[in-house]
Amino acid sequence: MKAIACLVFASAIVACALAAITEEQRDAARQLAGKCMQQTGATEDDVNRLRSGDTENADRNTRCFVQCFFQGAGFVDQDGNVQVEELTNKLASEYGQEKADELVARCRNNAGPDACERSFRLLQCYMENRASLMF
């Protein structure tokens, strides 16, 4: 369920609706997002900018929101390191193993100075490469 919640969020960020997402899964994603907004101080406007694909000028709170959300979904650990198996499995269930392996290989090196920056870089990589999942 956590993986689906993360994919719901990531999909909302890039404005790609996934047909197989249930209302229950959307509710879980909303709850996780709300919790992360409270914990990090990210605003609704910050999250809406991410949802529209705008990562320019994202502040510390927004970057830490992504860390909180991705960690809650199981895609990164507390240090912002990619959980390769979890991420690959979820993407493979939606897009096929080959495309999932390719995207995770591109995005798994999300080096950065701290957990928030590493998770944010993972999100940016996903957004830059998401078209490869579709075609």
Q: What is the pLDDT of residues 55-105, one digit of tens each?
A: 999 999 999 999 999 999 999 999 999 999 999 998 888 888 999 999 999
CA distance 12 to 78: 23
Global pTM? 0.81
- Percent over 70 (pLDDT), the chain: 84
Using an 8 Å Cβ cutoff, are 74 and 68 in contact? no
Give the residue extent of every domain in the chain. Answer: 23-129
CATH fold, domain 23-129, is: Recoverin; domain 1 (1.10.238)
* The one-letter amino acid at 118: R
